Structure 1
Amino acid sequence: MTLVDTTAALHHAEPQPHVPAWATQVENDAIRVRRGSVDAELATRHAGRRRLQIAYEIVGAEDAPVLLIAGGISAHRHVAANAADPAPGWAQGLLDAGRALDPRAFRLLSFDYVGADGGLDAPIDTADQADAIALLLDALGIERLRAFVGYSYGALVGLQFAARHPARLQRLVAVSGAHRAHPYAAAWRALQRKAVGLGQHQGGDAHGLSLARQFAMLSYRTPEEFGERFDAAPVLENGRVRVAAEDYLEAAGERFVARISATAWLRLSESIDLHRVDPRQIRIPTTVIAVEGDRLVPLSDAVALVEGLGLHGRLRVLRSRYGHDAFLKETDRIDALLGAALRETTAGVAP
């Protein structure tokens, strides 16, 4: 396994003696940013041994405890704007000063999911993602994570990591994710994949992927939100009826197509439905944050997960009109729940 520098030096920052030269380093008000990739061989569950690169970003003081942050299937290693990359990240706001995930208090590690680059056109399992994290930690010389904070797909990966690599994790926070794919949600995703397949068959990958994303948006959000935002009469355009939400859905589809390939999305979507973890195998403190009205991860599944975790599990329930997407929209409320869970970690308090 080797480490590869994937970016040029920024702001002419010189590597310090204790910082490996393979990683880009930027220092800004004592917050260090390192980006790079790991060349590794991963034994996947369904596709044999594969050579791949694991791209990562780590932000924070070198001697601070390490937290791993992972989001949905379209999330990536860039969580929030920093000195190395000023572009907004997928969880912009959650890493602001004073937040639970303040990079002045922790080293925050994130990575690109296996298959996210579209280069692996084979079945991918959440267990593969967990094992890739273990390889990444080995390469970075990180023995143990203070916590794993996973949202949506990231929560599934976090559960796998807790089950497969318990000695490397002190606490798990799983937001909007459970130990298995709910059959209703799996059926919803299967139809989305059929839309992509139809687009591919007709030579329109982008159109099929955009349509799949639009279907997905209906499962991420709630009827209550749509009732408030799009309660307008339909209009006639060129003899066709157009409803109020269509502009919003089409814009979401266009943005999605611009940042992920059809192959990557299909394989990561499948991996959600392949996901299975026995909660009884998880023996570390786990905070499960569920959202009432989440149509993809019903509250009943979160309850079943916590029951399986036994004394190791604690459930927190959030009421939000944003449904599954609450972790992206309810920044202040999610931050408060994260802060409580991480304070327990720091104090060594069992759930």
Structure 2
Amino acid sequence: MPPEPVTVISFPEATAVAAPRCASDLTEQRGTRRVSFTPKYGSDAVDVDVRYLWCGAPNAPTVIVQGGISADRDVCAGRERNAGWWHELVCEGAAIDLAQYRVLCIDWLLPTDLGDVPSVSSEDQAAAIAALVDELGIGRAHAFVGSSYGAMTGLAFAAHHGDKLKSLVLLAGAHRPHPLSTAQRSVQRGIVRLGLESGRTDEALALARQLAMTTYRGSEEFSRRFAAGPELREGRFHFPVEDYLEHAGRRFVERFDAQRFLALSESIDLHDVSPESVGVPATLVGFPSDRLVPLADLCELQRRLGNTATLEVVESPYGHDAFLKETAQIAPVLRRALNDCR
């Protein structure tokens, strides 16, 4: 794939839109850089095209921000998009203030990007970001803020490229996956593989996403939202939660494909970083209702990290998805963490 041209944008004056916009003196690069590194499950170095966004105040410290497996590089609003997947926390005046920082975010790599390798690892994602940091002349990032799979990648970055980083902020992600969470994702991958084999890929991917939603969200939220009784429709009883899950499945199929899902889901379960190898200060954020990343795993991570680590516990009914839903509670935690590493 030929490298995507780098687009350097000076934002126009902000206009009234649904999501925050960047001010006129902020700039954006959205493009592709070719970098080289050796994949964890490969034997030779490969050239990889990394699709990235680098946005914020010119010459300001860079904060790397990465989300879950369904997130892309568009973390914030921009000239051609009214929102990003974390725009409430990444914009001018927000917790990750684009008037004070530049934010760097990439699209996740897949095994096909790396040549003949059986899987892509969180270490590979970290290596790509580290190489991109060099390519862009950043030198040392102010912080790596990672959520879910992004937190796993952040740990891998700190463990293997700690000289390029001042501090680490991890939300809903640990040094290894919990075995029960791996079991749940394994069933999801089995559903998708069965769909590929039977020619019913979209149905299978939607069903896998529906199952995933039952692990992302908390029991309290489901109890509150879907307590009503079933309705008799089209010859069978439909439960209130089914409409929600089916809608989530359809939306996921519209923007994701089966092979990407299989690769990134497997990458989560291959993740394994020794906490003792992390030498930068860290702020951990956990949610007691999160069944995918139990709070006990973050307590263990905090004890074992090789530098100062604090654990912030945020109460939420939203389970693993609290890092997306509880922006008001998370904002002061991010501000403190970024200010502490100045």
Q: With structure 1 as the length reference, what TM-score do the two structures score? A: 0.89
1:178-257 to 2 correspondences below 5 Å? 178-257=174-253
How far apart, CA to CA, are the structure 2 residues paired with 1:73 and 1:81?
A: 19
Stretch deviating more after TM superposition (138-147 or 45-54): 45-54
CA shift at 1:94, angstroms? 1.1
Q: Indicate yes or no: 2:31 matched with 1:36.
A: yes
1:123-162 to 2 correspondences below 5 Å? 123-162=119-158
CA shift at 1:119, angstroms? 8.5
Q: Is the 8 A contact 1:118 1:264 kept in 2?
A: no
How far apart, CA to CA, are the structure 2 residues paired with 1:164 and 1:123?
A: 19
Q: Is the 8 A contact 1:40 1:135 kept in 2?
A: yes
1:278-297 to 2 correspondences below 5 Å? 278-297=274-293
CA shift at 1:265, angstroms? 0.8
How far apart, CA to CA, are the structure 2 residues paired with 1:153 and 1:116?
A: 16
How far apart, CA to CA, are the structure 2 residues paired with 1:27 and 1:135?
A: 27
Q: Indicate yes or no: 2:61 matched with 1:65.
A: yes
How far apart, CA to CA, are the structure 2 residues paired with 1:284 and 1:244?
A: 46
Q: Indicate yes or no: 2:97 matched with 1:102.
A: yes
How far apart, CA to CA, are the structure 1 residues paired with 2:189 and 2:183?
A: 10
CA shift at 1:118, angstroms? 8.0
Partner AA of 1:340 in structure 2? R
1:60-99 to 2 correspondences below 5 Å? 60-83=56-79, 85-99=80-94
How far apart, CA to CA, are the structure 2 residues paired with 1:162 and 1:109?
A: 16
Q: Indicate yes or no: 2:23 matched with 1:27.
A: no
Structure 2 unaligned runs (5+)?
13-23
CA shift at 1:134, angstroms? 1.0
Query: What is the SS of the residue equivalent to 2:72?
Result: coil
User: CA 1:249–1:285 in structure 2 vs 1: closer, same or farther (change >3 Å)?
Assistant: same
Deviations along 1:65-89, one digit per CA (max 9) or x if unpaired, are 0000000001010012112x22421
CA shift at 1:246, angstroms? 1.0
CA shift at 1:159, angstroms? 0.3
Q: Indicate yes or no: 2:333 matched with 1:343.
A: no
How far apart, CA to CA, are the structure 2 residues paired with 1:188 and 1:285?
A: 32
CA RMSD of aligned residues (A): 1.9
Partner AA of 1:102 in structure 2? D
Pick from 272, 278, 292: which aligns with 1:276?
272
Q: Indicate yes or no: 2:162 matched with 1:166.
A: yes
Question: Aligned pairs, how many?
Answer: 329
User: CA 1:116–1:36 in structure 2 vs 1: closer, same or farther (change >3 Å)?
Assistant: farther
How far apart, CA to CA, are the structure 2 residues paired with 1:188 and 1:159?
A: 23
How far apart, CA to CA, are the structure 2 residues paired with 1:92 and 1:207?
A: 31
Stretch deviating more after TM superposition (164-173 or 193-202): 193-202
Structure 1 unaligned runs (5+)?
7-21, 347-351
How far apart, CA to CA, are the structure 1 residues paired with 2:111 and 2:69?
A: 8
